[in-house]
Structure formats: structure tokens, C-alpha cells
Chains A and B, each alone.
Chain A
Amino acid sequence: MKPKVLLENKQLEVTLTRLCHQLIEVHNDFSNSVIIGLQPRGIYLAHRLQKILQDILKTKHIHCGDLDTTFYRDDFRKKELIPNRTSIDFIIEDKNVILIDDVLFTGRTIRAGLDAMLAFGRPKDVELLVLVDRRFKRHLPIQAKYSGLTIDSIDTQNVKVEWKETDGKDRVTLIDK
């Protein structure tokens, strides 16, 4: 079956800008808030949002970190996992943290991400932002506070998120495995 395009170029841009405005509604000038993207694919969304937020708020001081969850996963003996870089060069103690990933599916990555994040301190508050929320597919009681797009999909489908930085184009597609 032909891949179904869910979001593309301008549409995706509008969605990202909307997410940023939603964040600003809650976090004002981000003076006590930080964003953390989950490796391997959430970091591109996190850095994109950081850039848009900085443009809107006319500041250069929004902290954005990359967090790898490999060592915290519960399925590392079920499949081979390669760790990625973690770089969080700011303090998360007593901060409002916004965890960011591209797709929310079973919730297991987010669970691992929450554990991994706690190794860096005790945040005041943690929120979850995802670009695509695959509804009704959760294995764990985890929900996103902000989501770009909510879809109904079946297990044999995959959501693919592509970014200009790595894949040459901004696009979200639904494909059959």
C-alpha cells in the first residue's frame, strides 16, 4: 500500500508553531523550564522546537538536552540496542522539564526516559510532548500533555517521521510494515 502522508512541510511547520505557543502558555519565558529530547529520534523535534521557541521569545537561553534511554529499557535483551549520546549540560533539579519524543506508541520509551532523567536530579514537574500520538496503543499508563497529531492506527502500521536535518525533508507518514 502507498504510504499515507499525515503531515508535510507547511502543515508540519504550523503544527510545530502551535505546540510552541501551547508551551509558552504554560511556561511563559522558560526561565524555569527546560526541554529534553529522547534519543534517537526525539532530539530533532526537541531542537526544532527550541529554535522556534527562541525565535518567538527572542532569547537564546532555552536549554535543550539529548537523553539516551538504552540503559534503562526493559527490552534490551529482546532486541539489540545501540546506545546514543546523552548530553544534558544544565541542572534539572527543581526545573519544569518537558520530555519530547516524535511518536508515542506503547509508552515504554517514555517510561525508560523518565527513569533515565531522574539520574540527573529531581525535577519540579515533568510534562510530555509528542508530535504523533498513536491512540489506544499504550502498554503503560502514560499520556502526552501536548501532541501535534493524534491518530488511530493498527499494529502492522508504522509512523515514520522525517526531518530536513537528516532525511532531507519534513514529513510524517503512515506506512504498512
Chain B
Amino acid sequence: MSHLSVNHLLGIKYITKQDIELILDTATNFKEVINRPIKKVPSLRDITVANLFFENSTRTRLSFELAQKRLSADVVNFSASSSSVKKGETLVDTVNNILAMKVDMVVMRHANPGAAVFLSKKVNARIVNAGDGAHEHPTQALLDAFSMREKLGDLKGKKIAIVGDILHSRVALSNIFCLQKLGAEVKVCGPTTLIPKYIESLGVKVESDLRKALEWCDVANMLRIQLERQDIKFFPSLREYTMLYGLNKELLDSLSKKIIIMHPGPINRGVEITSDVADSDQSIILDQVENGVAVRMAVMFLLAGRQ
């Protein structure tokens, strides 16, 4: 396999195991590139990419922009807060206007689940989903898998626990699809109110006790409580959540083996994870950020390479 089976990266659900492996293998080459004295390659110099962020983002947006610049693509940025979206323009109109300026690829984050899929049916450009509501965040799942593969080798049979706000997390869903396609076992852990009702139908196990989940896993992916998406109270207080589902150094050190700690960011230090855990040698949070650029370069390189 030397090419992707899809024209857009809309979600991990829509791509195959071979696609994932191709992206991760290509990302290995790009990781070498971004550690060179000159970190730039001319592959996408004839491509223009629009970054459309209808929702706030720091890491993903910077990471995509860096990836585009290191591939020598031309980049235009757009954020909803300073645009005509406020004046009532629809998504398709906004994007078509941008495409009329001859843009080849669109990287989009949107608050509505399915926004990327919708767009891919309406416009003639390669679409990369950078997060659509609580649906998918495929590049995050790919960089998580890349980071785990770097530490653990082949992920087949490895055990990964995803802890926290599963209900509102697009990272959780994409991670579940990605890890399962790579043959890993996934367990989700969190307060019952934050676990989606039918999540077991995806083939993941549910655990409500954090210690048990951590004892079981090789990697723990700690998610943030997404207060901005919670319209009602899902647990009595943040302090109670931290007591039951926060990861601190004592708990980590008391486990029978050394597990790897991941976090997609942004971290709420002292809530889902304490500072000494986030900064410990078991944490690969900053590796994830570095790998994010390489993985996004691979995704855009492979999509642009399709005729």
C-alpha cells in the first residue's frame, strides 16, 4: 500500500488499518525531517491550505500551521470570531468563498459533529477534520497512536485506558477507533454520568474504579473535563471528581508497573492530573505535541499526493 484509500481525513472510522499504518510510517520520516538543521521540505509548494477554525484551538491550530509551513504550503487562516460567520453566513457559503480563491485543502474545526463530512460532500477540496464537536479528532488519535508506538512498538494486544470525560470527548472516540484498528484493547474509565450509554457496543470495556483501570493498562490517556460542553452538572463538584478520577503521584507510584501517561491537552493541572505527574518521566505529553507536527505533515502529504 502506497496511498490512502480516502480523499479526505474525516475521521478514523472512515479509514482502514492500512491507511493508519501508512500515515504512521510516513510520519516517522517526517519526524526525522523536523529534527534536521533545515526543517523544511518543498513537497507542497504548489498547494494552498485554508485553516478554518470555527472553534477555539491553540495546539492543533499551531501544529497544523507549522506542519503546512514545513511542507512549504501556502497557508491562509480563518477564525470564526473575527469573520462574516458572525454576520450570518452559512458554512458552505464561507467555505465556497474561500475555495473561489483557489484553495486546495481545507483543515477545519467546527462545533457541530459531522461538519467535516457535510463539507466533503459539498465542496471540491481535500478536507482534514481538525475536530468536529464531540464526534472525531482524527489527527489527535493518529499522533497518540504514533507516540504509543514509539514507546511500546506494535500496539497489537496492548492495553490502553482512556480516563475522564468520555461523553464530550472527540479524542476518546477517535482514539477508540484507531487503537482498535491497530489491535489494541481499550477500556474507558470515568464517572457513570460521563460514560456514553452505549459505548460498550463499540467493543470497549467500562471501568468505574480508576485504580483498577490503571493496574490493568499499559498506557493511560487522561482527558480533560470539558466544562464548556456540559450544559448540566454531571458530577457534584470538581473537587470530588479530582478525588475519584484525578491522577496524582502517590497513586501512580503505588501501581505494580510503570505505565505511560498521555494527555491531549490542554491540561487542567490539579484536576484530572497533578503537576508532578504531568511533568514526570512517565509522561509523554510533550512528545505527543512534537509528534503532532510530524503526523499532520504525513496526513497532508499523503492527501495532496492523491490525484
Cβ 8 A contact of A77, one of B32, B36, B40, B307: B307
Contact residues of B: prevailing secondary structure: loop
In-complex Cβ contact of A72 among B29, B32, B43 (8 A) = B43
Task: Tell me the B22-37 residues at the A interface (CB within 8 Å).
Answer: 26, 29, 32-33, 36-37
A68 contacts B by Cβ under 8 Å: yes
Query: What's the minimum C-beta distance from B18 to chain A, rounded to whole angstroms?
Result: 13
Residues of chain A within 8 A of B3, CB atoms compared = 80
Q: A83 CA to B42 CA in the complex, in Å? A: 14
User: A3 vs B22: C-alpha distance in the bound complex, in angstroms?
Assistant: 34
Kindly list chain B residues whose C-beta atoms are within 8 Å of the C-beta of A72: 41-43
Which A residues touch B38, using CB under 8 A?
A: 118-120
Assess whether B37 is in contact with A71, with CB atoms less than 8 Å apart.
no
User: Does B82 sit within 8 A of A, measured CB to CB?
Assistant: no
A72→B43 CA distance, assembly (Å): 6
Partner of B304, one of A77, A84, A85, A118: A77
Q: Please tell me if A142 contacts chain B, counting CB pairs below 8 Å.
A: no
User: Which one, A68, A80, A115, contacts B305 given CB within 8 A?
Assistant: A80
B301 at the interface (CB under 8 A from A): yes
Rounded to whole angstroms, the CA-CA distance of A118 and B42 in the bound complex is: 12
Q: Which of A119-150 contact B (CB under 8 A)?
A: 119-121
Interface size on A (CB < 8 Å)?
A: 20
Contact partner of A120 (CB less than 8 A), chosen from B29, B37, B40, B301, is: B37
User: Which residues of B in the span 269-307 have a Cβ within 8 Å of any Cβ on A?
Assistant: 301, 304-305, 307
B81 CB → nearest A CB, Å: 35
Q: How far is the CA of A83 from the CA of B27 in the complex (A)?
A: 10
Interface of A is mostly: loop
In the complex the two chains form, is B33's CB within 8 Å of A71's CB? yes
Interface residues of B in 1-34 (CB under 8 A from A): 2-3, 26, 29, 32-33
CA distance A121 to B38 in the complex (A): 8
> Please, which residue of chain A has its CB at the minimum distance from the CB of B301?
A71
Which A residues lie within 8 Å of B32 (CB)? 85-87
Q: List chain A residues, Cβ under 8 A from B33.
A: 71, 86, 119
A1 close to B (CB within 8 Å) = no
When chains A and B are docked, how far (Å) is the Cα of A70 from the Cα of B30? 11
Q: Please name all residues of chain B whose beta carbon is closer than 8 Å to the beta carbon of A116 when the two chains form the complex.
A: 41
Residue of B nearest to A82 (CB): B2
Q: Complex Cα distance A114/B141, Å?
A: 36
Q: Roughly how many angstroms separate A75 CA and B175 CA in the complex, as a whole number? A: 34
User: Per a CB cutoff under 8 Å, which of A76, A86, A119 touches B40?
Assistant: A119
How distant is the Cα of A77 from the Cα of B71 in the complex, in angstroms? 14
Instruction: Give the CA-CA distance A83 to B31 in the complex, in Å.
Output: 12
Cross-chain contact A71 with B41 (CB below 8 angstroms): yes
Inter-subunit contact B2/A71 (CB<8 Å)? no
What residues of chain A lie closer than 8 Å to B301, measured between beta carbons? 71
> Do A76 and B2 touch (CB < 8 A)?
no
The distance in angstroms between the C-alpha atoms of A72 and B72, with both chains bound, is 11
The answer for the CA separation of A71 and B3 in the assembled complex, in Å, is 15
* B22 → A minimal CB distance (Å): 8
Specify which of A70, A71, A76, A120 lies most central, judged by the most chain B CB atoms within 10 Å of its CB.
A71
Mark B residues whose CB is within 8 Å of A.
2-3, 26, 29, 32-33, 36-38, 40-43, 71, 301, 304-305, 307
- 24 A–B pairs (Cβ distance < 8 Å), ordered by A: A70-B29, A71-B33, A71-B42, A71-B71, A72-B42, A72-B43, A76-B305, A77-B304, A77-B307, A80-B3, A80-B305, A83-B26, A85-B29, A85-B32, A86-B32, A87-B32, A118-B38, A119-B33, A119-B37, A119-B38, A119-B41, A120-B37, A120-B38, A121-B37
Top 7 A-B pairs, shortest CB-CB distance: A71-B41, A119-B38, A83-B29, A80-B2, A71-B43, A80-B3, A82-B2
Which residues in A have some Cβ–Cβ distance to B below 8 Å? 68, 70-72, 76-77, 80-87, 115-116, 118-121
In the complex, besides A71-B43, A76-B43, A81-B305, 19 extra interface pairs with C-beta distance below 8 angstroms are A71-B41, A71-B42, A76-B305, A77-B304, A80-B305, A81-B2, A82-B2, A83-B29, A85-B32, A86-B29, A86-B32, A86-B33, A118-B38, A119-B33, A119-B36, A119-B38, A119-B40, A119-B41, A120-B36
